[in-house]
Amino acid sequence: MISFSQFSRRELSAGIGPGVYDIHTPRIPSTEEIADRINKMLAVLDTNILWVNPDCGLKTRKYTEVKPALQDMVSAAKAVRTQLSSAK
């Protein structure tokens, strides 16, 4: 994952989807791991510009790897949204 220290909330106005897990490995990231990455991104990016997505195309992965990883990614995004809405 890239370092987000180079970004500033003032520098970005368009959406950015830096990728929340590495699709080049068969390892399936946990919901908690992905949520942690999303929260690290949100430390430097505004919520209205962050797009939660895998790091690139999925065609090199098998369906048995992709489906649970994407399910964990969606669960993590929902958990972070819930966390953010309850913090308001």
2-33 residue pLDDT tens:
566 666 555 667 788 888 888 888 899 999 99
Whether 25 maps to a domain, the answer reads no
Q: Note whether 17 and 51 are within 8 A (CB).
A: yes
pTM: 0.84
Whether 20 maps to a domain, the answer reads no
Closest CA to 54 of 30, 20, 25, 29: 20
pLDDT digits (tens, 9 = 90+) for 54-64: 888 788 888 99
* pLDDT given at position 77: 97
Rounded to 5°, the CA angle 15-21-24 comes to 120
Looking at the chain, the whole-number percentage of residues with pLDDT higher than 70 is 85
24 catalytic per annotation: yes
Whether 11 maps to a domain, the answer reads no
Number of domains observed in the structure of the chain: 1
Which pair of structure tokens corresponds to residue 61?
A: 């992965």
Q: Which domain holds residue 82?
A: 31-87
Catalytic residue among 16, 17, 24, 67: 24
